[in-house]
Amino acid sequence: MNENYKVQVRDLVDDLKAVFTHAGLGGEAGEYKLLTQSFLYKFLNDKFLYEAKTIDEDNTYDNLISMTEEDYSWLLEDIGIATAHMKPGQLIETLHRKQNEKSFYETFEQTLNQIAVDNNDIFSVHTAGDTAIRLFDERLITDNIADVSKRNEVAASIINSLAKVKFDEAIFAQGFDFFSTLFEYMIKDYNKDGGGK
């Protein structure tokens, strides 16, 4: 694995943590939720784009957003369960272009919520009592950022951070080993045995 790439991804984690600390969540449960779910969104977005390009090299973001509904349905059929399905309006690049809209945090939440709903049958986790745990919390920003005046800023900062780094085939080829190492780095501050809250 390219060390520079590993540094870029760790910088992404650190940038997101800085956003949440600035919003007053340093080390809190809300910070953990925002970090892990933002990172999950990034992973699913880039995995979807990777799988789309595996099917056809021409499946770039610009081509995806201009596809007919029928062609897009065929693409989703071809992708199958290799990754969560995403619509063009749910991709990070689309939200990045909307970040200056009024109540952007609501758009951000609605996007994550719809991804969770659309993929609930396959990608939700079930507890021993058969309760489904969704991919994303329904009100991720609202429930974790108490100061209403900071919600748009936090949502826009998340999108800006996520848009800076691209997970590509070099990352996905690394598979579990790379992501397990990265996940350990991501949650190290929240492990109470390691000094987290």
Please tell me the distance from the alpha carbon of residue 148 to that of residue 142, in angstroms, as a whole number: 8
**Largest Cα–Cα separation, the chain:** 52
Mean pLDDT within 113-127: 84
The pLDDT of residue 192 is above 70: no
**Which amino acid makes up residue 151?**
R
pLDDT category of residue 38 using cuts at 50, 70 and 90: very high
Supply the pLDDT for residue 182.
72
Please tell me the distance from the alpha carbon of residue 171 to that of residue 9, in angstroms, as a whole number: 10
pLDDT category of residue 134 using cuts at 50, 70 and 90: confident
Mean pLDDT within 15-32: 86
**% of the chain with per-residue pLDDT over 70:** 84
> What region does 16 belong to: left with phi over 0, alpha with psi -120 to 50, or beta?
alpha
Supply the pLDDT for residue 123.
80
Residues 6+ apart with CB under 8 A from 110: none
Compute the CA torsion angle 58, 79, 49, 34 (nearest 10 deg): 170
Tell me the backbone φ, ψ of residue 60, rounded to 5 degrees: -85, 170
Please tell me the distance from the alpha carbon of residue 31 to that of residue 44, in angstroms, as a whole number: 20
pLDDT category of residue 48 using cuts at 50, 70 and 90: very high
Supply the pLDDT for residue 144.
94
In terms of C-beta density within 10 A (0-12 exposed, 13-18 middle, 19 or more buried), how is residue 192 classed? Answer: exposed
Beta bridge partners of 132: 126
pLDDT category of residue 62 using cuts at 50, 70 and 90: very high
Q: Residues 88, 118: contact at Cβ < 8 Å?
A: no
Whole-structure pTM value: 0.87
Q: Provide the residue count of the chain.
A: 197
Please tell me the distance from the alpha carbon of residue 141 to that of residue 33, in angstroms, as a whole number: 10
pLDDT category of residue 175 using cuts at 50, 70 and 90: low
Mapped onto helix, strand or coil, the DSSP state of residue 136 is coil
Supply the pLDDT for residue 88.
96
More confident residue, 100 or 186: 100
Report DSSP state, residue 192: G
For the chain, the average pLDDT equals: 86
| Cα within 13 Å of Cα(170), Cβ side | 10
The pLDDT of residue 96 is above 90: yes
Most confident of 9-23, 112-126, 149-163, 182-196: 149-163
Please tell me the distance from the alpha carbon of residue 107 to that of residue 99, in angstroms, as a whole number: 9
The pLDDT of residue 194 is above 50: no
The pLDDT of residue 185 is above 80: no
